[in-house]
Amino acid sequence: MASPLPASLLLTLAFALALATGLIVKFWLATRQIRHVARHRDAVPAAFAQAITLAAHQKAADYTIAKTRFGLLEMAWSAVVLLGWTLLGGLDLLNRLLLGALGGGMWQQLALLASFALIGGLLELPFTLWQTFRLEERFGFNKMTWRLWLADGIKALLLGASIGLPIAALILWLMGAAGRLWWLWAWGAWVGFNLLLMLVYPTFIAPIFNKFKPLDDATLKARVTALMQRCGFAAKGLFVMDGSTRSAHANAYFTGFGASKRVVFYDTLLRQLNAGEVEAVLAHELGHFKHRHVLKRMAAMFALSLAGFALLGWLSGHAWFYTGLGVQPNMAAPNDALAILLFMLAVPVFGFFVAPLPVRISRQHEFQADAYAIAQTSGADLSRALLKLYQDNASTLTPDPVFVKFYYSHPPASERLARMSAA
């Protein structure tokens, strides 16, 4: 009788199979999207023929195709980098170099996490630059200067170090000092950190990158305030963000947690929509709060993270977890940073196959928020606002249906507007 395969080899095979299968599926989905959008490029769908010009429709098709083709290159490069870090020994080499330079202990582990993040950022840098200064520039969306891009990058790096390293140090300390249930304590620390971040983000973090000023349009402010009062929603303020300094894309969002909640409008949004349309867009966002979508997503995120920490707690104590992913650990010494990094690298590979479930739930939430907005404001205003946003953001009206099921967190325009018309 043949002896069973070692656990490390089984993990290697499972990881390689999941990665290859995921790449094949992603490639298939992307090529479907490209073909489907190209096939419908030369005619505006009948439902939009009176509202969307052929030139706008073709721009959206070209933008979608260009982004999807670019995504194929990113996908291939990411797979190469992932293999380099894992099965080809990149993470193992980096760990050994840092062990030789710093010895073991907390500083070496923090250096491993920081070095991994820096190297990963440098490996992704060419794609970030191309997307911002070539792809987005080509279609008229990029408003970022090189100076602003560099300033944002430096700020993000410093902010990431000042926030990320302390929480990483805390979790690493808990992994070594809190016993077998360290993962439960680490999860609690992670949840508390995220809640704190949501609380301080609007006041202390967001202004580092963007300028915010109070909404000064008295008519719109009165209309929006009355809507929020009708909906029983309280916010700390209404603000306009200088989104036009970086992109021509438009948006509006709520930010903060508890008493720190703010309503933020991109300046580009206020330029594109009239007061009734802005009110309708805000009513849609209020619909998410009315249906407790935000709380449900937070609860789901925290529940999944608890399962993830528990799984990491189990895996980190087994040598086959490391060797199966290309790392030779010293099980007599802490491998906590290695375990975290390997877990972060491996989970998305296996998690891709359940990706359609959360985006399906998200699409359902969008329909519910639309229905709430129609009940509180004008459905015609919401339809016009969404159509303007789809057009101004060059969102295709003819995405591939299968691609939508895997990737679209928001329903396509045709489905959303058809449901609004029916309502």
Tokens of 366: 């969008």
Closest by CA to 348, choosing from 41, 18, 87, is: 18
The amino acid at residue 216 is D
45: left (phi over 0), alpha (psi -120 to 50) or beta: beta
Q: Cα 134 vs. chain centroid, distance in angstroms?
A: 22
8 A C-beta contact, residue 163 and residue 221 = no
Tokens of 411: 């329903």
Helix (H) or strand (E) holding 407: helix 401-407
Closest by CA to 263, choosing from 287, 234, 288, 302, is: 234
Phi, psi at residue 145, to the nearest 5°?
A: -90, 165
CA distance 389 to 165: 38
CA distance 312 to 323: 15
Q: Would you call 214 helix, strand, or coil by DSSP?
A: strand
122: left (phi over 0), alpha (psi -120 to 50) or beta: alpha
CA distance 189 to 174: 9
**DSSP 8-state assignment for residue 241:** E
CA distance 44 to 48: 7
Token pair 């300390």 is found at 173
Known active-site residue 279: no
**What is the distance in angstroms between the CA of the first residue and the CA of the last residue of the chain?**
66
Q: How far is CA 114 from CA 99, 129, 143, 337, in A?
A: 14, 22, 30, 10
Q: Would you call 410 helix, strand, or coil by DSSP?
A: coil
Cα pseudo-dihedral 252, 255, 258, 260, rounded to 10:
-100
Residue 259 has a CB neighbour count (10 Å cut-off) of: 9
CA distance 68 to 315: 36
Catalytic residue among 136, 279, 285, 366: 285
The per-residue b/e assignment along 26-54, b for 16 or more CB within 10 angstroms, e otherwise, is beebbebbbebbeebbeebeeebeeebee
8 A C-beta contact, residue 423 and residue 374 = yes
- Positions marked catalytic: 285
